[in-house]
Amino acid sequence: MKFQNARKILVGVESEGRSDEAIVAACKIAGHGDRKVHLLHATNAPSHIWVGMDPADFDAIRHQMVERSGLRIAAGLEGLERQRELKPGSLSKALEILPGPPARTIVERAESYGADVVFLGTHAKRSLLEFGNTIRTLFHTIPCALWIQPCEALDLKRVLVPIDLSPASLEAAGQALEFAKSLELPVDLLHVFSDPQMFAAEAGASFEGWPQYTVDGMRAAAQSGFDKAVKELGDLGAGCNKIFVEGSPPTEILARQEPSVLTVMATHGHTGLARLVFGSVSYNVFKEAKGPVLGLRT
């Protein structure tokens, strides 16, 4: 499904308000079109019965833990509704509490719900959605688009679209343009050319001794490929920019991020040797994001 046609939004909800901005961002996006927001909190209730324990007692313990989690999360959502002037009761009504490990529970619920996009909040240390095993699992296995909201959910002003010239990134760019047009937002299309020496350092190879004319030829080919790709994307709309720079892709992308700028990129890019560099770009951007990031599976 193309992201501009997304209708079902699933938000991973944490305690202590760490997912509040993800919830607000999801509500903002849902306000543009016929989109529904579903909130999910996964509580780490015990998954295996202890030796000698009555199954009925085990079920009662799990039920109590889920119930307590629900009351705690609902209270926090009520405060968020008042603070951000959201419809009273709307968040609690959309809330679901399920027992289980966060990553697995979110993935399974996204599949059963038929979610088009999953929103996640801050990746603070030791939070439910920290960038550790949980987020790595979600990044690689979530069956739909993934939106990370690491900052205040401001009204969006621009969309940044990095392109590595792979088919996946070009497909994501096309979807990003359509989504930006639906919100009447200008787009910055960005291609970062990596010098072979930088490429070699990240890929564990060596390009020492390459003649300068070869590097110049690679740069010219990248510029030409980028120009051709942008042309094939068609009308970019008013206020859109085409940006070609040289450097480290994650660094250049992160330098252009702001809370009001949405970065949209494919979660899978080049294959083969190039994937050693570009395959890690999306993950690094998600991990160090200074603004909202939307990863599209293409």
- The upper half-sphere exposure of residue 263, i.e. CA atoms within 13 Å in the direction of its Cβ, equals 33
pLDDT at 126: 42
Give the model confidence (pLDDT) of 190-230 as tens digits.
999 987 665 555 555 555 555 665 778 888 999 999 999 99
69 three-state secondary structure: helix
pLDDT at 273: 35
Residue ranges and CATH numbers for the domains of the chain are: 3-148 (3.40.50.620), 158-296 (3.40.50.620)
Please state whether the predicted TM-score (pTM) of the whole model is above 0.75.
Answer: yes
Q: What angle do CA 65, 70, 76 make, to 5 degrees?
A: 130
Give the model confidence (pLDDT) of 43-91 as tens digits.
877 666 666 677 787 788 888 888 888 899 999 999 999 999 999 999 9
Round to whole Å and give the CA distance between 179 and 285. Answer: 20
Of 5, 37, 7, nearest to 23 by C-alpha is 37
C-alpha torsion angle, residues 7, 163, 258, 25 (rounded to 10): 10
83 three-state secondary structure: helix
Residues 6+ apart with CB under 8 A from 297: 142, 143, 144, 145, 266, 267, 268
